[in-house]
A and B are shown apart, each in its own frame.
Chain A
Amino acid sequence: MEVQMKKKRGLRFYLSIYKKILIQDLKSKMSYRADFVISTFGMVLTNISGFITFMILFHNFPSVNGWDYHHMLFLYGFSLIALTPVQCFFDNNWNLRFMVRSGDFIKYCFRPINVFFYFISEVFDVKGLGQFAFGLGTFIYAWNKIGIPVTVVNIAEAVLFLLTASLFMIALMNLAAATCFWIINSGYVMVIMFRFKDFAKYPASIFSGVFRFIFTFLIPIAFVAYYPSLVFVTPDHVPLLSWLSPFIGIAFFYVSYKFWMLGVRRYDFTGS
């Protein structure tokens, strides 16, 4: 009786499943209003605190490495937007190590869909939207002050570069989270990676030698805002790495995804 057609699960299938889970999840989140309010307040507060730190710095020092106030603000806004997707869509990575250790992770392996997708789709973090709004405001303000022309090409480029820039932090967190398949208590790896994102908002030109290399190719936070921003800030001399950054982002994300899946395969599920 196995005349069943080969069922296809393509991109459209996954998008529709994600949309359905997202809508249901938002509905249920609304029923925990106190939690929602406190978390959003916390998120907004971290952004305000970050901004205050930034302002205090520029209250004392008018420019850094040739980047004046508005250029720095542009970088800042760019980094906040590029760091939103990792917060909103990939937050479940933080739960991975608990689930792996308790053995609960196994439940993701019994469905005929991609394990990574299934796991990640389970949590949508609304708090990130506050950061997005904050970042977008800063970005648009700085864009205006610098006087970048508002053209279709520029806007399309901005969207493309923001999207691909966001892949870098997502990939870093995927890699960090997946270490829990090998290391017993891997929380610190995630904490460390997460801390590095604080430096995405500064021009990578301040680093020299080995460290420039490390932050460009090993822990590529320079791609989160600096390289893509150069396309807009210094349109006359854009380095090659800036133009390549979308491709590097996609490749890096793919590698992190493969590593994550390798962890799933390698994990022996003894924790039960």
Chain B
Amino acid sequence: MANEAVVMKNVSKQFKVLNRHEGLKGSIQDLFSRDYKIVNAVSDVSLTVEKGEIIGYLGPNGAGKSTTIKMMTGVLEPSSGEILVDGRVPYKDRTANSEHIGVVFGQRSQLWWNLPLIESFNLLRDIYLVPEKDYQDMLSLYRSLVDIEPILHKPVRQMSLGQRTLSDILAAFLHNPGIVFLDEPTIGLDVSMKARIRELIKGLNEVKQTTVILTTHDMGDVDALCRRIIIIDEGRKIYDNDIEHLKNYFGSYRTLRMRLGDDSWVEQVIDEKKTDVMHAIKEMQKEHKVKDIQLQEISTEEVIRKIYEGSESA
């Protein structure tokens, strides 16, 4: 049996965008013009996701993350290339595909706005034709992972953003899909809610062996959940490997903080391939009095920022 949840081969997606003109004259022109430009949202992306994996799909705004997700979920048809999700071509059979996937878009609830959460769940059970026993088992699993009682009888429109996101994630796993797509699930949430959501995702992944494809801007999510990340920028894949490898690949960076004679702290990023920590301290001591030092491992966030910056200047 195939072990890949998602396979993408040389996938590209182009959009036609109308060129809009400025000002009064421009808007009269637009009334008649057919002036389009072609935008490459995704160019020649190939990737594979193993079953049961939680993968971080990262990239700056407008890099093509959402477009990729929309192609995997069958909403968009790729302009060229091949996609297989759980052995199916998502665009060709959207309905069959959607039985086996779950989708969450942060800040965009897919639940019935006016209904209490439990009624939404019941409707989803009926829509996905989930057997009653599986449904009850899933609900008890939810109860063991998070405290859902307070929100179960609340209409979605009265929920806080955090509660809504939580509900949406639970709804996405309800029919026990093989793959769940989470698009910025922790956006706009406070620290404790983020932690709860990460724990929930991790728990569900462990118990149900669900493959999770996560897009986020929050490196906290990545550090807490993903072993492997894929980074795209301007529609191209620029990195696809373990997080640990990422740090090695971009040099073993560490941040050195030093407290000087006037009690001020200075920071310096050290690339250990080029220089070592002691050398840096000695250099500093030539000109200043160093009273104290701290050493920090570089965070994933900083590495990724470096990659983004690198690809922009390239």
Tell whether any CB of A sits under 8 Å from a CB of B in the complex: yes
A198 within 8 A of B: no
Q: How large is the interface on B (under 10, 10 to 19, 20 to 34, 35 or more residues)?
A: 20 to 34
Stretch at the interface among A41-49, A103-111, A161-169, A247-255: A103-111
Closest residue of B by beta carbon distance from A114: B95
Chain A residue at smallest Cβ distance from B172 = A110
Interface set, chain A 229-268, CB cutoff 8 A to B: 268
Min Cβ gap B129→A in Å is 5
- Residues on B with C-beta less than 8 A from A17 are 123, 126-127
Task: Give the number of chain A interface residues (Cβ < 8 Å).
Answer: 25
Question: What per-residue 1/0 map shows which CB atoms of B64-98 lie under 8 Å from chain A?
Answer: 00100010011110000000000000000011101
A17-46 residues at the B interface, CB under 8 angstroms: 17, 20-21, 24-25, 28-29
Q: CA A254 – CA B76 in complex, angstroms?
A: 24
A104 lies within 8 A of B108 (CB): yes
Other A-B pairs beyond A109-B74, A112-B98, A112-B99, 18, CB < 8 Å: A20-B122, A24-B114, A25-B115, A29-B114, A103-B108, A104-B108, A106-B75, A107-B105, A110-B103, A110-B110, A112-B95, A112-B96, A112-B127, A112-B128, A113-B127, A268-B15, A269-B70, A269-B76
B6 within 8 A of A: no
Q: Residues of B contacting A122 with CB < 8 Å? A: 112
CB<8 Å pairs between A and B, sample of 8: A21-B123, A24-B114, A25-B112, A28-B114, A107-B108, A107-B110, A111-B98, A112-B99
Whether the pair A109, B73 counts as a contact (CB closer than 8 A) is: yes
Report if A270 contacts B (CB, 8 A). yes
- Residues of A that sit less than 8 Å from B by CB: 1, 7, 9, 16-17, 20-21, 24-25, 28-29, 103-104, 106-107, 109-113, 122, 268-270, 272
Are the CB atoms of A21 and B112 closer together than 8 Å?
yes
Q: Contact at A7–B99, with CB atoms within 8 Å?
A: yes
Q: Does B119 contact A (CB under 8 A)?
A: yes
Tell me, in angstroms, the Cα distance from A17 to B114 when the chains sit together.
Answer: 16
Q: Which residue of A lies closest to B14 (CB)?
A: A268
